[in-house]
Amino acid sequence: MGAGAADYGKKVSAEGTRKKKRRKVKNQTGLICATALGALIGVIGISYGVGRIYYGKRFLADTYINGTNVSGKTLDQAIKALGADKDPGHFVITAIDGKEFDLVPQEFGYHRNAKAEIEKLYGEVNHSTWFTGFAGRTDLSYNDEATYDVDMLENLLASQDWGDTATSDASLDLTDEGYVITPEVQGNKITDMTKLNEAVEYALSMGDFEVTLDETTGCYELPQIKSDTFKDQEAALNKVFNMAITIDFDYTQEVLTGNRLLEMLEMDDMGNYVVDDDAVMDYVEELAEKYDTYKKDRKFKSTLQGVVTVEDGGDGIYGWWIDQQETCDMLVGLLEDGENVTVDPIYWSDGPLEYTGVESARSADDDIGDTYIEIDLSAQELWYYVDGKEEYNCYIVSGQTTSAARTTCEGVYKLWSKETNKRMKDRNADGDEWDTTCNYWNNVSVCGIGLHDSTWRGEFGGTIYQWNGSHGCINMSYYDAEYVYENVELGTPVVMFYD
């Protein structure tokens, strides 16, 4: 028994020991759970505290005001993000000409409510529930309004010096240099103050403190015709204006172009034209008046008398004589063709005889030059000069001065033609007749005056011409007439004069 009792007791004791161990394990699990829960609560508490501190002076997460994200922004940051801090001391208006007008908003009682409205929204935020911002987007809004005194603003605008340049359309103008486009002018003069007021008031309503008064505002009169309108027309008209017909007068030229040319055309707006023949003839007449030397008096430096005036006596036909009708017809044709060309005028001609002079001798002051025959009718003497140097000299007998029909007229003649064994048969106004033959005939006119040999004469010079002169020709010895025939070129001027 004793032994059995001992064993029981020992068993009990062992079982008690096992039970005690199981309770110990159970108590550790609770402690761990309690510890974890406490830690979690601590973390949550700390996180809340941190969030509470961070969002205590900020808008909550995922917050938008008037569509602008202000999440986590301070009041000042949100005001700036929304532009609510724009309440400047200047309102700048840029006119259409670029001139700036700087107005002070306080001068027209300007005040904006945006900043106060955002402050009001900020004041309604429950910062203690900052974590609710992560639950979804929050949209807030306010009416951004500004107030000002309209009458003060409009009076202020009316007092500005906007400018007084009027608007004008582009135009196509004819100048000495051709057709030129005068560009349009955009004036700076305000023509509709109501539109100006509307443009400024609209900018203020949008919170803008700068406004540009461009052509869309309606406060300016705009050009109705722009430069581009005339581009094609300018090119077409200047093509005609710049057409040039150059008329060559040997020592100089006349260029028919520009305004003078346009005077001869009837032209439409696109450069289509017809030629006015009468206007062209007027131009040709001007050329003839300026450049014709035929039948004109001339100054001449003579051998014995110095400078003399050689008057046109009617028979001297040397010089330049424009055939006006033929020249006019030529120019009309060239104008109709519309080409740039250089041409000579058309001069009168009588069969093989042309009414011209020596091209190389032609200048503004002279058309005789320094190669010529000089006949001093008073001295009855002839000289032949080549390039200013005397080549030949002899005496002559000219027309008898007792009769106008026989007198040799002074003037500038021209060596038209030459013949040998010329039969001279004619009669004059006095009824005198003659029929004889010369060996050398040097014709200087179309009326029968020539330099020819007169072998029936025994002497020349002196005063023979006054009582026994020719019928108008220049009588010469055989050898003198032969010299002229063989040495003097056709077209050479023959200058005859009295003292």
Is residue 246 within 8 A of residue 343, CB to CB? The reply is: yes
pLDDT of residue 274: 96
Rg (CA), the chain: 59
pLDDT of residue 27: 53
pLDDT of residue 32: 59
pLDDT of residue 62: 86
State which residues of the chain have pLDDT below 50: 1-26
396-419 pLDDT, tens per residue? 999 999 999 999 999 999 999 999
pLDDT of residue 397: 98
pLDDT of residue 12: 34
pLDDT of residue 1: 37
Q: Where are the domains of the chain?
A: 372-497
The reply to whether CATH 3.40.1390.20 applies to domain 372-497 is: no
pLDDT of residue 30: 56
pLDDT of residue 221: 97
